[in-house]
Structure 1
Amino acid sequence: MHFRWFTTLCCAHASLLAIASLVSQASAAVDLPAELAEKFTRDVTPFVSKHCADCHDKEEPQAGLTLTTFAEAKAIVPDREHWEKVLELVSSGSMPPSDQPQPPAADVEKFTSVVQAIFDHVDKTSPRDPGRVTVRRLNRVEYNNTIRDLFGVDLRPADDFPSDDVGHGFDNIGDVLTVSPVLMERYLAAAESVSSRIITPEAPQRPNRFLSCKYVEPAGSTVPQSQYRPMTSEPKESGIETGPFFTSYMMDADGEYRFRIRCYTSAPKEQKVTVAILACGKDIVSPAGDGDIADLAGAALSGLRPFRVIARQEVTAREQKEAQNLEFTIPPMAGIERMAVALVKPGDGQPHVTLHIEWFNLEGPMDTRPRTHRELLATTAADDEAKSREVFTRFLARAFRRKPTADEIEKHVKYVASVQSSEQLKWEAAMQRGVQVVLCSPKFLFRTEPDYDPENPNVHAIDQYQLASRLSYFLWSSMPDDELFALASQNRLVDDLDNQVRRMLKDPKSQALVDNFALQWLQLQRITQITPDPEKFPNFDDRLKASMVEETKLFLREIIQNDRSILELIDADYTFLNERLARHYGIIDTMGNTWETKPRREGGQQLRGREFQKVMLGPDSHRGGLLTQASVLTVTSNPTRTSPVKRGRWVLEQILGTPPPPPPPNVPELDKEGAALTGTLRQRLEQHRENIACASCHARMDPLGFAFENFDAVGAFRKTDGSDYVDASGVLPDGRKFNGPAELKEILKTKAPQVRKALTEKLLTYATGRGLEYYDKPAVRQIVESMPAGEDRFSHLVLGIVRSDPFMLRRGKETQP
């Protein structure tokens, strides 16, 4: 057994090496125009010799990168990943390091234009490659959401599953979503638990609730304690005497009920006495209008509004011994909170009447099987096998997220029939077992995308059911809804793609993009593990931590659902605050005024309580955008102090998409260098950068981080750090200077193309469930360029992604590596 596993792993490793070799060979075989080859020899090779060779020769190359072995243009193509990084660093001014002689701008322009032209030529002449289709299982969030939308009930069984591994920053990456024996056990347990909740073979007994009328509302010390409680139509001020009498009930919105009262009237036989049954609740559907209410009696009537008159019925019993039971059917209805009985006013000229009521009785719901049972097993067929076939035809299409084959349907029908026969089960109990089988099927647990045209040699489109699943799991982290299924079944989804994307982004389920994409992209899950020093930050607590994250989530939801510009991620004139977080920020109202704002902006409402409100930020505000939100500032700090390094690295990685390499293994962290470093934090970092192994990366990170030094380790604004005034100035590697976050944001906004590209790469990685490769570069460039000039709306970015080759296409037989 162990030998077999070892052999399998070796074969897999050999396959990966073979794929890598094929990629290198294919790239190296690209035929470059003679003009590009000449320009490489003339402009790139001398540049490397003069400005890069000292640090990146083949003897002891810095960062493990050798640049002196590339004698001709086509040699850089197989090593494209490194050369893309070189291109990025040289064009941004990060390389050569600032303490080395700097090349003339004209030389930099020639170097970068030639290298970029080589890669552009490779991209244009290489065959389209949408990447490999990854068979990936549903992660925990996707499993819970799929169960919710498949059955219409929020059970969350995956909360007991092992944690999902993370790859490329996200927990939906197919390569790391393995299936362990423990997870298989949890799948089986979840399938059994879910099926037992949604199907009830033996219907429970109907609830039947009786309540003596002396205990119903209106209540008080004057309520008669007799067997029958009187209610008069006389215009008195007391609801205890005039009603309507009512009581609270918890009722299922989709259930039918029977409401009964036992009563009689003491009115003369010739006088008609009518009662009205009222369903009351603030969200009641089709409430009664003034005209319908005008003929009802009772001082308590106005306090019950809004309500709906369910029925009216005449009372014929005139003595207690003849008391009658009046019965009313309450159809399925949302919003019922109370049931009430009112007297209808006597006609003009007739005397007032008195109704005597003994009890209220509510029976139901009449069908006690859960709604999921009724909907899932709904069928018009007569015999059990035909019923199973009808149910599975409908259910498998949703569970497998595609049209099931006839063979798949028949296998499940036969399984249910065999279980029903061998174990003498009712059909409902056998179907419960059949649902368990479906929930354990790889076709449910995995997002499989079989190629229905496997012999096609060319890149071709995935089918429309697969596209519907890619869309829904990208934007909702869940299965497609009925509209997506309908369009896929009619082969109309591609034609309606733009409308569907915009609809899905506005749907509340797009909150999944905030919770599952954005929080991972911004690395904010780590805030749950952060505990700032309580002595230094005594005001920090769990409520403040939760408010910090909620601000970021509401801010991102505003951008996604209201289709705002992605550049607002860098700077915005609004945010969302509650009283606790506003106090932390020093903001006092919804116009963003602080105690120091002079003159104050008019129209602001004071922030009170835990509810979040949109707050407009003035031009003098220290906040605006992600970079100055307390959640980000806290997660990029140390427990006892700020960390310009972490904050600068975060900006490089998450906003600009240019992460620095990891630090050399032999260089100690700043806090571990002890007494060797002295002075302010800025001075200690300058001493730390004197180590040549640290200088180049810190020259990129530290200035960005120092821009936010006016914010302490929990994101509160400050002007001093201890006894020293905060210095938030910095100089970027390209020579641009700034002082504070506002000026840095203005610089970052000039890097809009880089910001778009970074976010595109992150979102495309999340959407496809795989890391991006060299062959994805053209798709990324096309997505960025497809965004309309001057507009950076979030929907434009998403539309570019869902129409890209990696999202819409699959490899053909001859493009498989």
Structure 2
Amino acid sequence: MIKVGTQFLLVSSVLPLALLGTAAVGQKGAKGKGAHPVAPVRKATAKSTQVSYEKHVAPLVQKYCTGCHGAKSPAAELSLVGYKNAASVLKAHGVWEKVSGNMSAGHMPPAGTPQPTQAERDLVVGWIDATISQAYCDLDDPGRVTMRRLNREEYNNTVRDLVGIDLRPADEFPSDDVGYGFDNIGDVLTISPLLMDKYLLAAEKVAKAAIQAPETQSKPVRFPGSRLDGDGGADFAETGGRLLGTERGDVGVAYEFPRAGEYTVRIGAFAQQAGPEKARMGVRLDGKEIRVFEVKAVQEAPEVYSLRVRVPAGKHRLSAAFLNNYKKPELPAPNDRNLIVDFMEISGPLEAPGALPAAHRRIISVSPTKATRIAAAKKVLGDFARRAYRRPVTKDEVNRLVRYVHLAEKQGESWERGIQLGVQAVLVSPNFLFRVEANADPKTAGKKSRLGSYELASRLSYFLWSSMPDEELFKLAAKDALQDPNVLAAQARRMLKDPKAKALADNFAGQWLQLRKLSVVAPDTKEFPTWNDGLRQAMRTETEMFFTAVVTQDRSVLDFLDGKFTYLNGPLAKHYGIPGVEGDAFRKVALQGDRRRGILTHGSILTVTSNPTRTSPVKRGKWVLEQILGTPPPPPPPGVAELPDDKKGPLTGTLRQRLEQHRSNPACASCHARLDPIGFGLENFDATGAWRDKDGEHPIDSSGTLTDGKSFKGPAQLAAILKTKKPMFVRSFSEKMLTYALGRGVESPDKCHVDDIAAAVASKEYRFSALITAVVQSDPFRLRRSETPQKMVKR
């Protein structure tokens, strides 16, 4: 093998770029296309109005607001005194955005105080929104670029699509940080020393799994008894093996299988025989029994038990278990049957003569001869780097990769081994690990520019697939066709029909709806004895299938609020009390009655917004305000204790009664007036989403009155009221989708575009495709504020 420290070579030649100058690695190979200043693509859309602050808005603010929000001791430390004109309002636009949001939601003025008429409310909210929106539109700024690395899901999916093997190496990486509710936000995706080490290991693993080189062919690997782990065995000193004396547990080894294929497993074993039958040994792969052997051998003549098994690439556990324990101490010896495992040996994969893995054939598309080996290396590594870097590559870049082939051959190793090393170098390059959107022309710094066509292809593919572009996107990028908004929209529609669009359900919906939390919630099984992991997974599947149906069937996004269908299997239907669904397979079910509507009544949502032993109207109300309406409440004031989970303590009665006592504290009242009624509307669902009419001995009261004065009784009426707030939902949903698509938080200039996206969705009957089309055709998605490489690196 190569004697030079390969990892040192790769790190010293490639990775420093990630820290010192990644932003400058760029689009020279892209022929400079698409990286030029452009004239403004859109103009401000906020309508002019004859309403003025001084004549129309200020008197209403004085009449309804300054009583609480005056100059002295204003509520929430927010004073609305001292604003004289539109200019002064714009200087404090953040304050007035809150005023607009609270008035449009009906939260302000608070109940019990004089209320404006609907016309007065519309006038104030309309003027604030139009004034601030006009100011944002006038900025004409598509936002800054943050160079960001691939997160774990993006890394796994990109490797899968690049080499054709679903290895999921990033499952071993540290967890990604989250910003603005998502884990693809460039500002929080940092690189730690541990992650750099993981990158090196992952690159080696992928290269060896994808490319077959003579030096890295798997030789038999033997694990003596001392290296076998498991909770079912004890050391057997006489042979160095492991003794299994009960049917509990097993002994084995977690082994990194370099690639998918058939492997030979050999197990040296014997038994201490007793009773009427011979010992039986079960061989397991990842806990699933794949073969049973009758072990007739004894210590004086141990035997080797061999089998062949097909194993996917990656780490899997092979183990041996004792299946028929026998112990009768009251009988004469031998009266105790035991199994002893001396070693396990793994060899493979066992390829047919001349056969090469599909990934190998995919990457090495030419057969080198002695005369053409360097030209072949340039072709192979150039093609691989082009796809991995998601753009054309320069001659310089290819020549640097071919050095690894020279190095391998110089030290007596094969051409294929050199290609392996070149692939490793690509996989630790910042051009692979980062989505680089650098300026081709420094003169464009500070100006609005189009994204390069290859950059736009990557934005689109990582938005909808969480992975690299496919060949169709690459071909369109090469022709600059993606700069046409209609082509971009057509590609988005095509991509939503591809199976890879499931990533949108996994990664966008999984975080927007907080489904990922479902894997860690732990309802108390004493309180909820029907809860189990099968139910947990079924709940997640239901919501993911519902989201996928909205995407693939191009349904209205308003179905999220009150959709009258869902997807159930037998166990989940039984949990919900819905008859007529049997078996483990999921199917579409039309919802009858008025108990369940939309995602709000999915078990997944109801469970992640509950406590282990009881429901939480506060958490459920907060979830609706944040994830559905986009009006998150402020954090609770310091020093205010949470409501205890149990019913002991100073607060008594039903959960509703205890919450009402809790919010009698003035410090809690204003927020709870927004949170609790929504949560009360969902009280018929217990902490695992099952319907109930009583909480213990107390009948459930699921009625409520929102801060805008609208009353409801039960979840169906609550869903109907929420649907009347569809402008708020659609705007919130649009903002979250744009945040996810851009990989950055929405900034002030973006809000004008969010309004445009929401309006476009409403004009197209709220179809999901209208949302995606409006996002990918928006200025923040297609354009950027150019910056110098130095500024990007400093950031």
TM exceeds 0.5?
A: yes
Q: 1:254 to 1:657 in 2, by over 3 A?
A: same
Q: Which residue of 1 aligns with 2:552?
A: 561
C-alpha distance after superposition, 1:743-768 (max 9, x if no partner): 11111222222111111111111110
Q: Which residue of 2 aligns with 1:669?
A: 642
Q: 1:168 to 1:425 in 2, by over 3 A?
A: same
Q: Which residue of 2 aligns with 1:48?
A: 61
Question: In the alignment, is the contact (CA less than 8 A) between 1:205 and 1:368 conserved in 2?
Answer: no
Q: Which residue of 2 aligns with 1:508?
A: 499
- Matching of residue 578 in structure 1 with residue 584 in structure 2: no
C-alpha distance after superposition, 1:342-377 (max 9, x if no partner): xxxxxxxxxxxxxxxxxxxxx963323322222212
C-alpha distance after superposition, 1:86-125 (max 9, x if no partner): 111012221121132323444433322322232133134x
- How far 1:813 sits from its partner (Å)? 6.0
Q: 1:138 to 1:204 in 2, by over 3 A?
A: closer
What pairs up with 1:235-250 in 2 under 5 angstroms? none
- How far 1:59 sits from its partner (Å)? 5.1
Q: Which residue of 2 aligns with 1:708?
A: 682
* Mean Cα deviation higher: 751-760 or 374-383: 374-383
What pairs up with 1:675-686 in 2 under 5 angstroms? 675-686=649-660
C-alpha distance after superposition, 1:767-805 (max 9, x if no partner): 100011111011101111122636111111011101111
What is the rounded CA distance, in whole Å, between the counterparts of 1:42 and 1:203 in structure 2? 84
Question: In the alignment, is the contact (CA less than 8 A) between 1:162 and 1:183 conserved in 2?
Answer: yes
* Mean Cα deviation higher: 607-616 or 492-501: 492-501
* SS of equivalent residue, structure 2 residue 583: coil
Q: Which residue of 2 aligns with 1:593?
A: none
What is the rounded CA distance, in whole Å, between the counterparts of 2:699 and 2:260 in structure 1? 62
- How far 1:84 sits from its partner (Å)? 1.0
Q: Which residue of 2 aligns with 1:391?
A: 380
What is the rounded CA distance, in whole Å, between the counterparts of 1:61 and 1:401 in structure 2? 55
What pairs up with 1:436-451 in 2 under 5 angstroms? 436-451=424-439
Q: Which residue of 1 aligns with 2:186?
A: 174
Q: 1:159 to 1:254 in 2, by over 3 A?
A: closer
- How far 1:419 sits from its partner (Å)? 4.2
User: Unpaired segments of 5 or more residues in structure 2?
Assistant: 1-18, 20-43, 220-258, 263-349
Q: 1:533 aligns with which of 486, 507, 524?
A: 524
Q: Which residue of 2 aligns with 1:635?
A: 608
- Matching of residue 646 in structure 1 with residue 635 in structure 2: no
- How far 1:475 sits from its partner (Å)? 0.5
Q: Which residue of 2 aligns with 1:486?
A: 475
What pairs up with 1:283-302 in 2 under 5 angstroms? none
- How far 1:742 sits from its partner (Å)? 1.0
What is the rounded CA distance, in whole Å, between the counterparts of 1:364 and 1:412 in structure 2? 29
Question: In the alignment, is the contact (CA less than 8 A) between 1:203 and 1:369 conserved in 2?
Answer: no
AA in 2 matched with 1:512: A
- How far 1:688 sits from its partner (Å)? 2.3
Q: 1:665 to 1:408 in 2, by over 3 A?
A: same
What is the rounded CA distance, in whole Å, between the counterparts of 1:812 and 1:448 in structure 2? 13
What pairs up with 1:263-274 in 2 under 5 angstroms? none
Question: In the alignment, is the contact (CA less than 8 A) between 2:764 and 2:770 conserved in 1?
Answer: no
Question: In the alignment, is the contact (CA less than 8 A) between 2:149 and 2:434 conserved in 1?
Answer: yes
Question: In the alignment, is the contact (CA less than 8 A) between 2:549 and 2:555 conserved in 1?
Answer: yes
What is the rounded CA distance, in whole Å, between the counterparts of 1:796 and 1:198 in structure 2? 40
Question: In the alignment, is the contact (CA less than 8 A) between 1:91 and 1:112 conserved in 2?
Answer: yes
Question: In the alignment, is the contact (CA less than 8 A) between 2:597 and 2:719 conserved in 1?
Answer: no
What is the rounded CA distance, in whole Å, between the counterparts of 1:106 and 1:513 in structure 2? 40
What is the rounded CA distance, in whole Å, between the counterparts of 1:491 and 1:460 in structure 2? 15
- How far 1:812 sits from its partner (Å)? 4.1
Q: 1:788 to 1:704 in 2, by over 3 A?
A: closer
What is the rounded CA distance, in whole Å, between the counterparts of 1:375 and 1:741 in structure 2? 54
> What value does the CA root-mean-square deviation take over the aligned residues?
2.8
- Matching of residue 187 in structure 1 with residue 199 in structure 2: yes
Question: In the alignment, is the contact (CA less than 8 A) between 2:654 and 2:695 conserved in 1?
Answer: no
What is the rounded CA distance, in whole Å, between the counterparts of 2:704 and 2:261 in structure 1? 63
AA in 1 matched with 2:394: T
Q: Which residue of 2 aligns with 1:148?
A: 160
* SS of equivalent residue, structure 1 residue 708: coil
Q: 1:438 to 1:488 in 2, by over 3 A?
A: same
AA in 1 matched with 2:57: V
- How far 1:553 sits from its partner (Å)? 1.0
Q: Which residue of 1 aligns with 2:778?
A: 804
Q: Which residue of 1 aligns with 2:598?
A: 625
Question: In the alignment, is the contact (CA less than 8 A) between 2:437 and 2:455 conserved in 1?
Answer: yes
Q: Which residue of 1 aligns with 2:466?
A: 477
TM-score (norm 2): 0.73
C-alpha distance after superposition, 1:618-646 (max 9, x if no partner): 2x141231011111111111111111111
* SS of equivalent residue, structure 1 residue 730: strand
C-alpha distance after superposition, 1:190-219 (max 9, x if no partner): 111111111121189999xxxxxxxxxxxx
- Matching of residue 750 in structure 1 with residue 724 in structure 2: yes
Question: In the alignment, is the contact (CA less than 8 A) between 1:137 and 1:445 conserved in 2?
Answer: yes
What is the rounded CA distance, in whole Å, between the counterparts of 2:738 and 2:409 in structure 1? 47
Q: 1:121 to 1:364 in 2, by over 3 A?
A: closer
C-alpha distance after superposition, 1:162-192 (max 9, x if no partner): 0100111111100000000000010011111
What pairs up with 1:571-610 in 2 under 5 angstroms? 571-589=562-580, 607-610=581-584
Question: In the alignment, is the contact (CA less than 8 A) between 1:544 and 1:581 conserved in 2?
Answer: yes
Q: 1:735 to 1:396 in 2, by over 3 A?
A: same
Q: 1:525 to 1:379 in 2, by over 3 A?
A: same
Question: In the alignment, is the contact (CA less than 8 A) between 1:199 and 1:372 conserved in 2?
Answer: yes
Q: 1:645 to 1:33 in 2, by over 3 A?
A: closer
* SS of equivalent residue, structure 2 residue 214: coil
C-alpha distance after superposition, 1:450-505 (max 9, x if no partner): 12233236412101111110111111111111111111112223442222111111
Question: In the alignment, is the contact (CA less than 8 A) between 1:206 and 1:364 conserved in 2?
Answer: no
Q: Which residue of 2 aligns with 1:615?
A: 589
Q: 1:370 to 1:58 in 2, by over 3 A?
A: farther
What is the rounded CA distance, in whole Å, between the counterparts of 1:34 and 1:499 in structure 2? 34
Q: 1:253 to 1:414 in 2, by over 3 A?
A: closer
AA in 1 matched with 2:603: A
Q: 1:67 aligns with which of 56, 74, 80?
A: 80
* SS of equivalent residue, structure 2 residue 712: strand
Q: Which residue of 1 aligns with 2:398?
A: 409
What is the rounded CA distance, in whole Å, between the counterparts of 2:443 and 2:107 in structure 1? 48
What is the rounded CA distance, in whole Å, between the counterparts of 2:658 and 2:60 in structure 1? 34
What is the rounded CA distance, in whole Å, between the counterparts of 1:161 and 1:649 in structure 2? 32
What is the rounded CA distance, in whole Å, between the counterparts of 1:104 and 1:788 in structure 2? 26
TM-score (norm 1): 0.71
- How far 1:57 sits from its partner (Å)? 4.2
What is the rounded CA distance, in whole Å, between the counterparts of 1:788 and 1:809 in structure 2? 24
Question: In the alignment, is the contact (CA less than 8 A) between 2:609 and 2:616 conserved in 1?
Answer: yes
- How far 1:657 sits from its partner (Å)? 1.0
Q: 1:392 to 1:74 in 2, by over 3 A?
A: same
Q: Which residue of 2 aligns with 1:772?
A: 746
Q: 1:464 to 1:175 in 2, by over 3 A?
A: same
Q: Which residue of 2 aligns with 1:326?
A: none
* SS of equivalent residue, structure 1 residue 493: helix
* SS of equivalent residue, structure 1 residue 554: helix
Q: Which residue of 2 aligns with 1:103?
A: 116
AA in 2 matched with 1:100: T
AA in 1 matched with 2:716: A
Q: Which residue of 2 aligns with 1:379?
A: 366
Q: 1:498 aligns with which of 489, 495, 502?
A: 489
- Matching of residue 424 in structure 1 with residue 436 in structure 2: no
Question: In the alignment, is the contact (CA less than 8 A) between 1:555 and 1:576 conserved in 2?
Answer: yes
Question: In the alignment, is the contact (CA less than 8 A) between 1:388 and 1:431 conserved in 2?
Answer: yes
- How far 1:76 sits from its partner (Å)? 2.3
What is the rounded CA distance, in whole Å, between the counterparts of 2:77 and 2:175 in structure 1? 34
Q: 1:34 to 1:70 in 2, by over 3 A?
A: farther
Q: 1:102 to 1:34 in 2, by over 3 A?
A: same
What is the rounded CA distance, in whole Å, between the counterparts of 1:395 and 1:522 in structure 2? 37
